[in-house]
Every structure is written in structure tokens, then in C-alpha cells.
């Protein structure tokens, strides 16, 4: 008798423990009624682009249980379906969807693995029983990313656009930039050897500012891994990144980056990036620090006192002061091959001052390289040939 009583107590204790555990583990399914749910406004940005473009999608999904009542409930899933590919949309305030739990769901779709063409866009809302409500909300057009030959030759300079709204625009831009470049020596002499390729993409190459050599100087930094991969697709020897911006900006290393409306700045940046070294030509203006404070070990167009590097090169000298009146060629203890001369052949590596403008069209500033820089670029071009 006592034995069975103990067993009974043990059984009751076990059963109540189990129910406590069950109560902790078991959560009721959220209440969600698909029948009253509507997909109202939607937004897909951009509405066209090249393969590889990341699209942002927003959709408003709300329940209308009775006249005049709008509720933000949590469906099991809200997703966009674009050309058969799915992108989950979330209402947590972190997906470009405005506030948390405000019926606006957001997410992104990376078109990298898609083919070109017109794609239908649907928004799907799923409930907890597996039912789905589907609404067609529009289309996006995807352009195949292609390497388009602008001019023929062996040394391949590939132009890649960042954030272009029209992927085809890059072809026209590459043509204008290269025509300008072919007016500058030594590129002029190598026009027949240089191939110009444009990659028609509207991808965002994630270009932003980063801190430069000194306070106040900003450089451009993009997703260079992606850029190198895109360039390799077109067999690039050199890559130029055109930014869809009208700001007077340019930067170099490892590629040349420039606003699409300033081919003058491109020549300067290409001076830095053109060639197989990490830094090729240097800035012929002073950074305000000496060479033992800096990280650059040597530059073909800057030299120590006496300038032994170019004492055999015609038309050069050994100049202490840059065009801003400061001593130095990159570093304060280095010298330039040519004295600044605003009238005559200004070396573009002294720093470029372009006229402020709004569009990519002539007149462009006349620029050139000094004999030492020109000779260096010629050597690089010969090595590529
Ligand atoms: Ca939201
Ligand atoms: Zn520079």
C-alpha cells in the first residue's frame, strides 16, 4: 500500500513537471488571418539595371479585419518573388522599411545570378497553415552585363561605372574619356595599341570616402574585390572606375577612380595607377611630411636632391618648390622634374585644377606629363605590348 502510494506521488510529480515543461516550450501560433490581409503599396528600386544590381524592395502588408480598421500583424513570411527568385521582406525597421512593426516590410534582391530580361515582381504573404496570397506588383528589366569594345588594341583599359542609372551610358562616357586620353602623350602615340572596353553595369560599387594622407584630404574607396572581378571578366590590364557623380573628385590605387564628368582628373589618377607597381607616378606636390615619415619608398617622378634619376632626360631640372609654393614632390625632401609653368606644358601630376562643370562635354582643360613621367608611362606601355 505504502509502495503504491509512493508511486502515485511520483507519477503526479512527473506529470505536473512535464506539463510545466510543456507550458514553457509550447507557444501558441501567432494569430494571423490571411483572408483580411492586403498588399497595398510597393516599391522596387531601381526599376531597371544590369545583372548584379542589388534591388531594394518595400511592400506594405496590413490586415483589415473590419471597415476602417488597419492592423499590422506578423504573417509567417512576406517575400518578393522576382523572375522566380525569392527575397524575404522583414518589418523590423532595419531593412529600409521605415519603423519596426509599421506594416512596411523591406529587403533586397541581388540579381547577380539572374539572366537578363524583363522580370515579373510578385509579393507573397504566407500564413502559419502554409497558405499563400500572391500579388503581382510590376516588373524590373535586367540588362546582361557585357564587355563592350569601344576601340581595338592589345593593352586593355576597362571602364566600369558605379551607380549608373542607365548601364548603356558607360559606353558613351568611356568613348569621351578615351578620346581625351588619346590627346595626351604618351597615350597619343599608343592609340592603336590600346583597347578601350566598357562594362555596361549599373551596379553600386560601394564607393565612399576614406581618410587620405592628411587631415581634410579624402580618398575614394570602393569594393575593389568586386571591381577586380568585373575587370577580369573583360580581360582588363588596367581599370578605370567612373563614378556617377558631378563632384570634382578623383582618387587612385589600386585603380583609377574619377567622377564621370572630369576626364582631366582621370589623366592624373591614371598616372598613379597605370602600371604594375602599387603606386606608379607620384604626386608632384608636397604632402607636408618628409620621406622618413611616409610610407612610399620611391617614385619615378620624384627624386632626392640633385635628381640623379633624370639627369640624362632632356628638358628636365630639379625643382624644390611645388605649384602651391611648398617644398616637396610628394615628400618635403624630394624634388620634381619640372618647374611649374601655368602657361606652358604643365605636368598633370602637379595636381589638376579643372573648371567646375555639370556635364561631360568639351571644353576640357589641356593637360600633359613632364618628360620624366612621360618616359615612365612609355616604359609601362612597352611592357604591356
Ligand atoms: Ca517597417
Ligand atoms: Zn594624385
d(CA 228, CA 242): 14
The model's pLDDT over 163-190, given as tens digits with 9 standing for 90+, comes to 998 888 999 999 999 999 999 999 999 9
Centre of ligand 1 to C-alpha 94, Å, is 8
Q: Give yes or no for a contact between 105 and 96, defined as CB atoms under 8 angstroms apart.
A: no
pLDDT at 353: 75
Q: What is the mean pLDDT of the chain?
A: 90
The model's pLDDT over 187-198, given as tens digits with 9 standing for 90+, comes to 999 999 999 999
Domains of the chain: 34-143 (2.60.40.10), 147-384 (3.40.390.10)
Mean pLDDT (whole number) for 119-143:
94
Centre of ligand 1 to C-alpha 244, Å, is 30
Mean pLDDT (whole number) for 144-162:
96
Ligand positioned closest to the Cα atom of 270: 2
Q: Where are the alpha helices (DSSP H) in the chain?
A: 2-25, 169-181, 224-233, 263-273, 371-384
Centre of ligand 1 to C-alpha 106, Å, is 7
pLDDT at 167: 87
Centre of ligand 1 to C-alpha 333, Å, is 57
Centre of ligand 1 to C-alpha 38, Å, is 15
Among 99-103, 220-224, 363-367, the range scoring the smallest mean pLDDT is 363-367
- 211 band by pLDDT with thresholds 50, 70 and 90: low
pLDDT at 215: 45
Centre of ligand 1 to C-alpha 223, Å, is 29
- 73 band by pLDDT with thresholds 50, 70 and 90: confident
Ligand positioned closest to the Cα atom of 329: 2
Beta-carbon contacts of 151 under 8 Å, excluding residues fewer than 6 positions away, are 178, 191, 194, 195, 196
Centre of ligand 1 to C-alpha 207, Å, is 27
Ligand positioned closest to the Cα atom of 296: 2
Mean pLDDT (whole number) for 138-162:
95
d(CA 251, CA 162): 14
Centre of ligand 2 to C-alpha 269, Å, is 6
Centre of ligand 1 to C-alpha 287, Å, is 48
Query: Which pTM was predicted?
Result: 0.78
pLDDT at 199: 96
Ligand positioned closest to the Cα atom of 62: 1
Ligand positioned closest to the Cα atom of 92: 1
Centre of ligand 1 to C-alpha 89, Å, is 10
pLDDT at 214: 47
Centre of ligand 1 to C-alpha 105, Å, is 5
Higher-pLDDT residue of 25 and 74 is 74
Ligand 2 ion local residues (Cβ < 5 A): 283
Centre of ligand 1 to C-alpha 96, Å, is 8
The model's pLDDT over 5-46, given as tens digits with 9 standing for 90+, comes to 777 777 777 777 777 666 666 666 667 889 999 999 999 998
Residue 124, pLDDT above cutoff 60 = yes
Ligand positioned closest to the Cα atom of 287: 2
Centre of ligand 1 to C-alpha 136, Å, is 21
Residue 97, pLDDT above cutoff 80 = yes
Centre of ligand 2 to C-alpha 206, Å, is 21
Q: Which three three-digit cell numbers place residue 374?
A: 612621360
Residue 142, pLDDT above cutoff 60 = yes
Centre of ligand 2 to C-alpha 268, Å, is 6
pLDDT at 4: 73
Alpha-carbon distances of 337 from 116, 211, 272, 322, rounded to whole Å: 51, 29, 16, 11
Mean pLDDT (whole number) for 221-240:
95
Ligand 1 ion local residues (Cβ < 5 A): 91, 97-98, 102, 104
pLDDT at 12: 77
- 299 band by pLDDT with thresholds 50, 70 and 90: very high
Q: Where are the alpha helices (DSSP H) in 224-337?
A: 224-233, 263-273
Residue 243, pLDDT above cutoff 50 = yes
- 233 band by pLDDT with thresholds 50, 70 and 90: very high
Amino acid at each position: 500500500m505504502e509502495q503504491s502510494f509512493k508511486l502515485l506521488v511520483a507519477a503526479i510529480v512527473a506529470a505536473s513537471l512535464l506539463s510545466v515543461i510543456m507550458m514553457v516550450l509550447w507557444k501558441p501560433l501567432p494569430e494571423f488571418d490571411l483572408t483580411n490581409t492586403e498588399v497595398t503599396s510597393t516599391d522596387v528600386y531601381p526599376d531597371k539595371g544590369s545583372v548584379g544590381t542589388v534591388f531594394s524592395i518595400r511592400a506594405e502588408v496590413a490586415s483589415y479585419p473590419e471597415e476602417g480598421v488597419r492592423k499590422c500583424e506578423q504573417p509567417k513570411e512576406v517575400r518578393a518573388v522576382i523572375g522566380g527568385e525569392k527575397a524575404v521582406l522583414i518589418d523590423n525597421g532595419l531593412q529600409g522599411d521605415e519603423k519596426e512593426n509599421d506594416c512596411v516590410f523591406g529587403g533586397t534582391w541581388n540579381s547577380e545570378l539572374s539572366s537578363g530580361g524583363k522580370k515579373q515582381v510578385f509579393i507573397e504573404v504566407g500564413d502559419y497553415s502554409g497558405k499563400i496570397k500572391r500579388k503581382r506588383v510590376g516588373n524590373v528589366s535586367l540588362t546582361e552585363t557585357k564587355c563592350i569594345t569601344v576601340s581595338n588594341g592589345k593593352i586593355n583599359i576597362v571602364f566600369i561605372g558605379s551607380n549608373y542609372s542607365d548601364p548603356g551610358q558607360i559606353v558613351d562616357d568611356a568613348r569621351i574619356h578615351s578620346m581625351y586620353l588619346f590627346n595626351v602623350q604618351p597615350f597619343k602615340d599608343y592609340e592603336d595599341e590600346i583597347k578601350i572596353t566598357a562594362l555596361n553595369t549599373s551596379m553600386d560599387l560601394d564607393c565612399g570616402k576614406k581618410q587620405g594622407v592628411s587631415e581634410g584630404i579624402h580618398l575614394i574607396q570602393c569594393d575593389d574585390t568586386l571591381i577586380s572581378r568585373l575587370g577580369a571578366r573583360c580581360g582588363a590590364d588596367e581599370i578605370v572606375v567612373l563614378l556617377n557623380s558631378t563632384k570634382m573628385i578623383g582618387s587612385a590605387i589600386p585603380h583609377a577612380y574619377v567622377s564621370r564628368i572630369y576626364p582631366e582628373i582621370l589623366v592624373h589618377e591614371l598616372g598613379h595607377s597605370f602600371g604594375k607597381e602599387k603606386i606608379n607616378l607620384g604626386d608632384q606636390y608636397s604632402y607636408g611630411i618628409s620621406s622618413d615619415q611616409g610610407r612610399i619608398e620611391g617614385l619615378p617622378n620624384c627624386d632626392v636632391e640633385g635628381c640623379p634619376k633624370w639627369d640624362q632626360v632632356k628638358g628636365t631640372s630639379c625643382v624644390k618648390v611645388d605649384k602651391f609654393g611648398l617644398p616637396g614632390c610628394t615628400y618635403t625632401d624630394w624634388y620634381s622634374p619640372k618647374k611649374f609653368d601655368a602657361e606652358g606644358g604643365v605636368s598633370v601630376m602637379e595636381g589638376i585644377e579643372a573648371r567646375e562643370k555639370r556635364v561631360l562635354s568639351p571644353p576640357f582643360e589641356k593637360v600633359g606629363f613632364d618628360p620624366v613621367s612621360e618616359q615612365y608611362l612609355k616604359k609601362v606601355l612597352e611592357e604591356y605590348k
